[in-house]
Amino acid sequence: MDAKRLLIVAKIRRIALQEAQQAVADCLAEEALAEALARSWEQKIWRETEAVAALDGTDQGALVFARWLAEARHKLVAARASYDGSMAKTTASRAELALARRAVSVAEDLWLRAQAIEQQHAEKRSQAELDEGMRSRM
């Protein structure tokens, strides 16, 4: 493959690399939001549990808290699952980024090699033309 085509391939690979980098950034942002939500629910549950424990509550108050706590725990489980999913997505995205980096490296190496080969061929042709010109003068 000639150097011009390999340069195009390298440019396409660089674009794919940029997209993979953006995907990792997006995943990290999503992961941070999911983690913040899970921590928020953990803190809410802790604060409310502490507040209820400090009060001399009625049975009605205890019942309301128990319902709230069940719902809050459900939301915490969902938030943790979302966080786990986002971490898995980030891991996969990082693997894709590593592959994209390697693809850029390979494409650029091939382009440089092809460029060097074309340069060598050009130099040989030029030398052959010089040699031919010298022979024709003799």
Domain boundaries, given as residue ranges, for the chain: 3-137
Tell me how crowded residue 20 is: count the other CB atoms within 10 A of its CB.
21
Confidence at 131, pLDDT banded by 50, 70, 90: confident
pTM, two decimal places:
0.76
Q: What is the pLDDT of residues 90-126, one digit of tens each?
A: 999 999 999 999 999 999 999 999 999 999 998 998 8
Class of domain 3-137: mainly alpha
Give the residue-averaged pLDDT of 51-58.
74
Distances (CA, A) of 128 to 30, 106, 122: 62, 33, 10
Q: Which two tokens stand for residue 2?
A: 């000639």
